Structure 1
């Protein structure tokens, strides 16, 4: 299994007491699968995605990412696992404004000590159709172009698993379709496991499986429910 959780919960302490964000969650994702996590805003989707990617620590339970026990690791150890195995695409792109598109893509490869990082970044730029825009800074790129740079950055280290949080949420329909095609093309070509959070029913429908998040609880969306929803 690429991802396996056992009774994972997340809670936070507030002035009014403990707030339970995630109820006990058990989920398994095979290598190479594409999985969409759907649900209303505030249901806990992004919280779960952050836990699965090792960006946050569980309150209780166990998370295994490619056999690595994220729940038992401190931030430094989780960061090492992320660097070796994980790519992450944020809705807000999260590009470094002082770096060009090419430099943004190179960054994780340089941190990981990848040889020929510049050449690999140039190849990644070409793969997302932005070879002529490598010297531009993020504020000189459209939203769709910035998201494609973010995808190239996430894929440059050839991660085993890619997490995407509303990857088409800030894009118009045309750019959303282009980014969607790019995500699944790269997923198939590299055999990368893809887990995404989305409100986009068409994007979710292209995934192998859908998981529904409601009030912190996660359930599988069956084929019958998927047909009814469509």
Structure 2
């Protein structure tokens, strides 16, 4: 299985109170096409920062990030934006729908930006897949939180991305709606063969992924390695 995302010795440092604060420390891992990976860790551990770097929304202080064969670490914002448009989908904790657009128009948006034909028909089909075929004419403020996130999931898959990044996709939802959105993510992911990378504090959600990576104080470890090593010497194992 070919590699879609490669991370090599990635660090992220910011200035805080006149001092350098290292948020990420020499992260190394690779993600294959069609793989599902969860990044878990406590609040402030660096997992959302890492996701931003992987998606090209921010730049690393040092190291390399390769996405779909392209060196994100060498691209300017314009070229990173083009790469995101071509290969990447997003689902955010806060939904990030355009409030002035209906549910249907929100799903149509990435299709129209990509000059896809039959954007409306494709968007209607996606809304039907997420169980909202009767809510397409409603605006986000007329939808529940669970419905808004289902619209966001439909929008994320509309452009048929090679990789989907989800940042706490069920974090703002109650248990019932969280389970619905969770099921949709993995169902649509399986149908489309999309690579899925999600940040979550929900262990049950993380366990649905093929792999779990753990962030702790800016360092990255493999979940399976942690379980094995913790019984021996509590050592941390970097992902190669």
TM class by shorter chain equals: over 0.9
Unaligned runs of 5+ in 2: 231-240
| CA distances 1:131-158 after superposition (whole Å, capped 9, x unpaired) | 0000000000000000000000000000
Pick aligned residue for 1:127 from 115, 125, 129: 129
What corresponds to 1:91 in structure 2?
Answer: 93
What corresponds to 1:67 in structure 2?
Answer: 69
Q: How many residues align?
A: 227
Q: CA deviation at 1:224?
A: 7.7
Determine the C-alpha separation between the residues in 2 that align with 1:26 and 1:48: 11
What corresponds to 1:8 in structure 2?
Answer: 10
| CA distances 1:85-126 after superposition (whole Å, capped 9, x unpaired) | 000111000011111001111111111111111111111111
Determine the C-alpha separation between the residues in 1 that align with 2:180 and 2:170: 9
Determine the C-alpha separation between the residues in 2 that align with 1:121 and 1:92: 21
What corresponds to 2:41 in structure 1?
Answer: 39
| CA distances 1:48-84 after superposition (whole Å, capped 9, x unpaired) | 0010011111111100111111110001000000000
Determine the C-alpha separation between the residues in 1 that align with 2:52 and 2:65: 12
What corresponds to 2:235 in structure 1?
Answer: none
| CA distances 1:17-76 after superposition (whole Å, capped 9, x unpaired) | 211110010110010110000000000000000100111111111001111111100010
- The RMSD of aligned alpha carbons is 1.3
Are residues 1:170 and 2:166 paired? no
Residue correspondence of structure 1 range 1-230 to structure 2 within 5 A = 1-222=3-224, 225=227
Structure 1 segments of 4+ aligned residues over 6 angstroms from their partners: none
TM-score when scaled to structure 2? 0.92
Unaligned runs of 5+ in 1: none
Q: CA deviation at 1:223?
A: 7.2
Determine the C-alpha separation between the residues in 1 that align with 2:107 and 2:208: 26
- Structure 1 residue matching 2:108: 3-state secondary structure: helix
User: Bigger CA drift: 173-182 or 8-17?
Assistant: 8-17
Q: CA deviation at 1:15?
A: 3.1
